[in-house]
């Protein structure tokens, strides 16, 4: 089984709790034998069982070094405390947080994978993770294929923005050095 096929079995939360930069790098590590199949807390026992069957391996218990299995989570922003700093936007691997600088941000629950990557950068601790089932209008967790597509679009946008900024800096330096 190749890495792409293994990746398709993962929940695509892109949470990095497996010890890799996302689901695809984890799948690549599994494919080359560099990682065990039990490192995905969001996927938990169900994903481990899928991987074990697909790869002809023994199902292992979730590695506690990677976290614990729990309910599906969703980020929630206390909008009254949000200062619009935008520090939560870039870490969200699927662009589930919307907002602009100095404006209140909010989470689109239908898109949130529960990765928790937005929590640490928040300087005012206004982001909490709650069980998806606790939402006033519970939304199903997004489909893994949809998560992957949003993650790819997010990654490509960040790379494009970095390339544009580098080109602008280079052009500015060249203009400053020109007679």
Q: Is the pLDDT of residue 141 over 90?
A: no
Question: Band of the pLDDT at 138, cuts 50, 70, 90?
Answer: confident
Please state which CATH class domain 3-66 belongs to.
mainly alpha
Distance CA 168, CA 171 (A): 5
Verdict on whether the full-model pTM lies above 0.95 = no
Domain boundaries, the chain: 3-66, 71-149
- How many Å apart are CA 172 and CA 62, to the nearest integer? 51
Cα separation, 14 vs 7, in Å, equals: 11
pLDDT in tens, 165-179: 999 999 998 888 755
DSSP 136: S
pLDDT band at 109 (very low <50, low <70, confident <90, very high): very high
Residue 174: which H helix or E strand, with range?
helix 144-177
Per CATH, domain 71-149 is 3.40.640.10: no
């Amino acid at each position: 089984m190749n890495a792409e096929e293994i990746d398709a079995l993962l929940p695509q939360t892109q949470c990095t709790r497996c010890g890799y930069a996302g689901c695809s790098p984890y799948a690549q590590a599994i494919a080359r034998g560099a990682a065990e199949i039990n490192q995905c807390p969001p996927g938990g026992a169900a994903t481990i069982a899928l991987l074990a069957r697909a790869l002809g391996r023994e199902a292992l218990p979730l590695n506690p070094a990677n976290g614990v299995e729990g309910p599906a989570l969703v980020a929630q922003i206390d909008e009254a405390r949000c200062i619009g700093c935008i520090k939560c936007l870039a870490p969200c691997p699927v662009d589930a947080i919307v907002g602009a600088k100095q404006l209140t941000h909010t989470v689109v629950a239908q898109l949130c994978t529960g990765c928790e990557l937005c929590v640490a950068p928040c300087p005012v601790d206004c982001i909490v993770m709650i069980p998806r089932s606790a939402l006033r209008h519970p939304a199903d967790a997004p489909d893994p294929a949809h998560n992957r597509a949003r993650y790819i679009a997010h990654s490509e946008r960040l790379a494009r923005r970095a390339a544009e900024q580098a080109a602008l800096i280079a052009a500015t330096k060249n203009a400053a050095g020109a007679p």
